[in-house]
Amino acid sequence: MTRCIAAMLAAFAALTAHAQYPEKPVRVVVSTVPGPLDTFARMVLDKISAALKQPFVVENKPGAGGNIAADLVAKSAPDGYTLLFAIDTTFTVNPSIYKTLPFDPAKDFAVISVPVTYGQLLAVHPSVPANSVAELVALSKQKKLTYASGGNGTPSHLSGAYFLATAGIDMTHVPYKGTGQSVIDVVAGQVDSIFAVTTGVLPHVKSGKLRALGISSAKRSALAPEIPTIAESFPGFEAAFAYAFMAPAGTSVDVVKTLNRETLRALAQPDVQEKNRTFDYVATGLDPSQSAAWLKDNRDRWAQVIKRAGIMME
């Protein structure tokens, strides 16, 4: 009887602990320097913090395509007090472009949410005589063109490689150490074309310094609905990227569900919806299991693209 009572008390204590989560500040590791991901994470975490009445403290740990931050969180206690915000490519692309990883992207994490997705905009310098995706493809078969990216294995590089493979064409890849300088050089006419986040190139399109040809996501951008998707020329084409909110594997299902619920509530708030519109992010509404499936599907898809393009990091 005594053992039974003790077991019941322990179970009640555990249930109470989960019900009260979080009882202290939560550390959230962000896998990049301050920038788009960091801004989005802080915006969402501020809402979650207000709802759960505990600080969610951001710590930036950039490097190795998100591997440094992911490894730190993977090896942390699965108690809900060390979490990760990363670009999805850490889990969907890195397994294929790095020879080894210090963590297992599928087994070492509990997926909280893939909260938003975003696409890339294909743009060319005005000197390039192409006014559509079809015209660019035809031109590339007549002369050698170049495309810039923010670096090997970045979304801009992956979108470009996927596009070339889909269209059956070839261009010379010009990688940069960051998207900013790559856009500058395309605007200057030193490189012919680029895939980059819509918000990074749309101002140059509006000023006439670049010409927009297509959007990489499945649907047209709410920021620039007049720009066709690449899928309108090549049905089935989709290069979508996302942010991933993760916890160490073994984290309580209740904690994961709580964090997912509050993430969805944060994204539903009008001020967050408006900011996401200006960032060209599309909320997914996915629960933890759906988010995990999204990551797996994209991991499989990018593995095929990467193998075909021969992309590899040391």
Q: For residues 199-204, give the mean pLDDT.
A: 93
Q: Is 68 exposed, middle or buried (0-12, 13-18, 19+ CB in 10 A)?
A: middle
Domains along the sequence of the chain with CATH: 25-117+240-309 (3.40.190.150), 120-232 (3.40.190.10)
Whether 106 has a pLDDT exceeding 50, the answer reads yes
Residue 117 Cα to chain centre, angstroms: 7
Q: Average pLDDT of the chain? A: 92
Residue 314 confidence (pLDDT)? 53
- CA-closest candidate to residue 197, choices 281, 98, 107: 281
pLDDT digits (tens, 9 = 90+) for 148-189: 998 888 889 999 999 999 999 999 999 988 888 999 999 999
Q: Give the number of other CB atoms < 10 A from CB of residue 181.
A: 12
Where does the pLDDT of residue 309 fall: very low under 50, low under 70, confident under 90, or very high at 90 and above?
confident
Lowest-confidence region among 61-65, 86-90, 305-309? 305-309
Q: How confident is the model at residue 73 (pLDDT cuts 50, 70, 90)?
A: very high
Backbone angles phi, psi at 216, to 5 degrees: -80, -20
Residue 18 has pLDDT above 90, yes or no: no
Residue-wise pLDDT for 128-145, tens only, equals: 999 999 999 999 999 999
Q: What is the pTM of this model?
A: 0.85
pLDDT of 77: 98
The residue to which tokens 């261009």 are assigned: 171
Please report the pLDDT score of residue 13 as a whole number.
46
